[in-house]
Structure 1
Amino acid sequence: MKKIASLALALALSLGLAACSSGSGGSTAPESTTPVEDTQLTGTVPTSVTITSLNGAKESVELEVPYDPQRIATLDMACLDILDALGVGDRVVGTASTSLEYLQDYINDDIANLGTIKEADLEAVMACEPDVIFIGGRLASSYDALSEIAPVVYLSTDTEIGVVESVRQNAVTIASMFGLEEEVDALMADFDSRIAALSEFADGKTAIVGMCTSGSFNVLGNDGRCSIIGREIGFENIGVDADLETSTHGNEASFEFIVDKAPDYIFVMDRDAAIATEGAKLAQEIMENELVMGTDAYKNGHIVYLAHPAVWYTAEGGITALDVMLSDLESELLG
Structure 2
Amino acid sequence: MEDVNDTAIEASGLTKTYGDRTVVDIDHLSIRRGEVFGLLGPNGAGKTTFVEMCEGYRRPTSGHLSVLGTDPTSGGSSWRSRLGIVTQETGAFDRLTVAEAVGHLAGFYPNPRSVAEALAMTDLVELADRLVDHLSGGQRRRLDLACGIVGRPELLFLDEPTTGLDPEVRRRLWSMIDGLRDAGTTIVLTTHYLDEAEQLADRVGVVAAGALIALDTPDRLGGHDANTTVVSFRPSAQTETLLATQEWERIDHDRVGIRSTQPAALVAELHRLGGEIDGLEVVRPSLEDAYLRLIEDHTAAFGQRHANEPTSYEARTNHSRTTEQRTDDSQEIAS
What TM-score comes out, normalization by structure 2 length? Answer: 0.24
- Answer 1 or 2: which has greater strand percent: 2
Q: Highest Rg: 1 or 2?
A: 2
What TM-score comes out, normalization by structure 1 length? Answer: 0.24
Structure of higher RCO (CA pairs closer than 8 Å, 6+ residues apart) = 2
